[in-house]
Structure 1
Amino acid sequence: MKKWFSNIGPGTLVTAAFIGPGTVTVCTIAGVKFGYTLLWALGLSIIACMVLQEMAARLGVVTQNGLSEVLKSQFDNKIVKSILLGIIISAIFIGNAAYEAGNISGGVLGLSTIIESPNISLGGFAFNYLSWIIGVLAFVVLYIGNYKILERSLIVLVLFMSLAFIITAIVTKPDISLVVKGFVPDFSSEKLFTVIGLVGTTVVPYNLFLHASVVKEKWNTPEELPLARKDTIIAISAGGLVSMAIIIAGAAILSNEVNNAADLAKSLEPVFGPAAKYVLSLGLFAAGITSAITAPLAAAYVVKGCLGWQGGLKSKQFRSVWMFILFLGVVFSSLGIKPIKIIQFAQVANGLLLPVIAGFLLWVMNKKNILGKYTNSKVQNAIGFLIVLIAAFLGCRSIWKVVINL
């Protein structure tokens, strides 16, 4: 058991990052609106996540550098390098700011079930003070830098919530034949945004940068790649199982719309009864605050790598980045927009950014001057290229649908 725990690595961090408020919300909504019919999209997302995160982990272990550092080293032309870094930084800032707003909104969504009327008026504007409380808590933890104990405690709470969904999925006694049919692809236009949301909540672009950066803290030589690969596959498979359980549990909710935590909690009622909303509130808060700490840190690591900053977690430059991302997340979360809408937008934004970041990763993974014999195989390239194409197709269809509806 001790040996098993010693081999648990960054894969768990990646899973904990994507099993957040966004996953709970988007997967529940997918189940409520479309039953089991979008299980195929989630299955595709899990495979894509596994393939791309394995590439990121391999890159980090072999090169002992993060994705942004490696990309930066591949261009000598200053103009091209500046454009590339500008695209990466812009994508991460946009994606992480939206994701952070969703994380904080998830925490608010949980607390608002217990604390009534969390809005206050100031100068003609209404603010949700719970967003600022969560933001201050995340700020203190990040500023001190000693967040591991808190993070592990919150992950335990998130795993508790995940176990509740798995039990609930079993208790609802789903029709197995309908569940199997749910893995048949369906690209109906009314399901498009939910499909992109499922992709965005599972394959999180900033996790590719985060994984490549932190994996070297666990493993230092290419000979340890099997351990890194095993860690990635097991952790993401477990996260995928939880996500599927949430969709199945959501399909049992006798409602057509989800607007708040009380609606989400209906999927837990078969197991917890009247206490369901409190169980979900605790889980959503845990998921929200954990991800609210992770997302700004990931953005800071990316910018640090792109701009070649020196210094550790307590350097002024590093802190300025995560402070900015955290501030944006708090502001957007507190503006009175429905938390469910913010969380959905964050997942769609991630889905749109995915083909850009995944394309960069796929290109780097074929550089022999970087990875030597550890470059992608033909099969890995084929799967990776297919993932980028599908992500780009879904993104383009989403943009086109928005344009024609203007």
Structure 2
Amino acid sequence: MTNRSVDPSVAEPKWNLVGPGLVVAATGVGAADLIATTVAGSKYGYALLWAVVAGCIMKVILVEGAGRYSLATGKTIFEGWSSLGRWTHWYFGPYIVIWGFVYGAAAMAGTGLALYSLFPFLSVAAWGILSGLAGMLLVWSGRYDLFEKILTAMVVLMFVTMLLAAALTLPNLGEVLKGLVPMIPEGALINVLSVAGGVGGTITLAAYGYWLREKGWDTPRFMRVMRMDNGIAYLVTGLFVISTLIVGAELLHSAGIAIGKGDQGMVDLASVLGERYGTWMSKLFLIGFWAASMSSLVGVWNGVSLMFADFLGHVQGKPHDHPDRLAGGRYYKFYIFWLTVPPMVMMFLGQPVYLILAYGVLGSLFMPYMAITLLWILNTDRVPAEWRNRPLTNLMLLLCALAFIALALNELYTRIAGLF
């Protein structure tokens, strides 16, 4: 199921060397990240712009670590985790199962809301279910080349839409530059961590190595290409998320306008843009909102299904290249079904409290888990000496781990407090 590339140093134009990075970035930036950044802009203006940049740098480091491990060893990231002990199975197994069920419902609800706002002749639930089924059909075969083309088109659509919205607000360049100076407004620490931590994905960061394999980049000779791919992808992501903060700062902060939480906030923002610049801008922004939501859905339907297939095949002792552990195999297809069909029930019956709590607890631990395990794996003989961490990389990964641990503690406190 791979799309084998020729030697990157010889034949391909540079733009063709960008692919898995854009996929992981597009998958990771969903409506929740956009609204968190927009709300931060509406509350604090440009004061948290530096946190967006910091978030991109953190994700570049984490994704590069996952990619470097895969290229240097020829193994998957789950095989790396498994080498640390069976405790990784006991964490990752329940996490990916619960996460998939809850995320499937959330992803379909987000795309459904975007489409309902554009075409209200069907309900949010109906549009969401159709989106989930469309995602299932797009990735069912496991063809990476088709999947990458679809995600790239969605990235272009959401990127152009958000940049246009930011440009229309005529941002104050002096304030933008001031926002690059690190500072934390009073009471904004959690906002800082949320903005930095929310730029570009959680579990989908670990899917990067699988997409490298599907692309055909699976040996150390692709290391330089991988780093360029990752850097360009998060440069695009950074510009995109900075644009959302600009919209929040210029359009909402200056006018004192509040918007709703979650996906509804994106619809509210579209209405504000429509009132200010015309209905055409509202519709265009909703198309961008749909592209951001749908790209996350399609990316997860493919990437996390690859991770699940690898996990289940590995714990059953199946060889690294067994068909069940690869794209298009039966475990891969089972997880796509798990993401799509069972969560449809939640679209109509609501979300069970304890399942959502488990989802939040396990999910909040994933980014610290990834940062800490990469520190562990990439400093040992699990990786050839030339590809192990350098001191600066270790320092950055340690800072990532501390930031995500702080976010996890806050998330756990918030969720547990919500029960009482």
Q: Under a length normalisation based on structure 2, what TM-score does the superposition of the two structures give? A: 0.80
Name the structure 1 match of 2:327: 313
Which of residues 192, 207, 212 in structure 1 aligns to 2:209? 212
Distance 1:214 1:281 in 2: 29
Establish whether residue 48 from structure 1 lines up as the match of residue 58 from structure 2.
yes
Residue 237 of structure 1 is aligned with which of 231, 235, 238?
235
- Work out which of the residue numbers 257, 260, 271 in structure 1 matches 2:259: 257
Aligned equivalent of 2:384: 371
Distance in 2 (alpha carbons) for counterparts of 1:218 and 1:145? 14
Change in 2 beyond 3 A, CA 1:112/1:347: farther
Cα distance in 1, alignment partners of residues 167 and 361 from structure 2: 29
Alignment of 1:384 with 2:397, yes or no, is yes
Letter matched to residue 393 of structure 1? A
Q: CA deviation at 1:93?
A: 3.6
Look up the match of 2:409: 396
Relative contact order, higher structure (CA 8 A, sep 6+): 1
| Distance change >3 Å, CA 90–CA 187, structure 1 → 2 | farther
Whole-angstrom distance in 1 between the partners of 2:210 and 2:115: 33
Q: Map of 1:199-348 to 2, 5 A cutoff?
A: 199-216=196-213, 217-251=215-249, 252-253=251-252, 254=255, 255-258=257-260, 259-266=264-271, 268-269=273-274, 273-307=278-312, 308=314, 309=318, 310-311=322-323, 312-327=326-341, 329-335=343-349
Q: Structure 1 residue 196: deviation in Å?
A: 4.7
Q: 1:162–1:152: structure 2 CA closer, same or farther, 3 Å change rule? A: same
Distance 1:271 1:365, change over 3 A: farther
Structure 1 residues 241 and 387: alpha-carbon distance in aligned structure 2, compared to 1, 3 A threshold: same
Which residue identity is paired with 2:157? F
Q: Write the deviation string for residues 259-307 of structure 1: whole angstroms up to 9, x where unpaired.
A: 3543121565499621122212222223322321221332222232223
CA deviation vs aligned residue, 1:332-367 (integer Å, no higher than 9, x gap): 455568xxxxxxx99998555211222112211112
Gaps of 5+ in 2: 1-10, 352-357
Determine the C-alpha separation between the residues in 2 that align with 1:189 and 1:401.
16
Please give the secondary structure, in 2, of the residue aligned with 1:202. Answer: coil
**DSSP-derived class of the 1:262 partner:** helix
Higher mean C-alpha deviation, range 33-42 or range 385-394: 33-42
| Distance in 2 of aligned mates of 1:108 and 1:349 | 26
Cα distance between partner residues in 1 of 2:149 and 2:32: 19
Cα distance in structure 1, aligned partners of 2:102 and 2:33: 14
Asked if residue 128 in structure 1 is aligned to residue 133 in structure 2, the reply is no
Q: Distance in 1 between matches of 2:221 and 2:327?
A: 29
Counterpart of 1:122?
none
Alignment RMSD (CA, Å) = 3.1
- In the superposition, relative to structure 1, how do residues 133 and 326 fare at CA in structure 2: closer, same or farther (>3 Å)? same
Letter in 1 for 2:125: N
Once the two structures are TM-superposed, the CA of residue 2 in structure 1 deviates from its matched residue by 5.7
Q: AA paired with 1:113?
A: S
- 1:72-118 CA-partner distances (Å, limit 9, x unpaired): 2x25xxxx41x221212233344444444443222112111123374
SS at match of 2:184: coil
- Is the CA contact (8 Å cut-off) linking 1:30 and 1:250 kept in structure 2? yes
Q: Report which of the two has the higher share of helix.
A: 1
TM-score (normalised: structure 1): 0.83
Q: Note if contact 1:174-1:248 (Cα within 8 Å) is conserved in structure 2.
A: yes
Distance 1:358 1:99, change over 3 A: farther
Query: Which sections of structure 1, spanning at least 5 residues, go unmatched?
Result: 120-126, 338-344
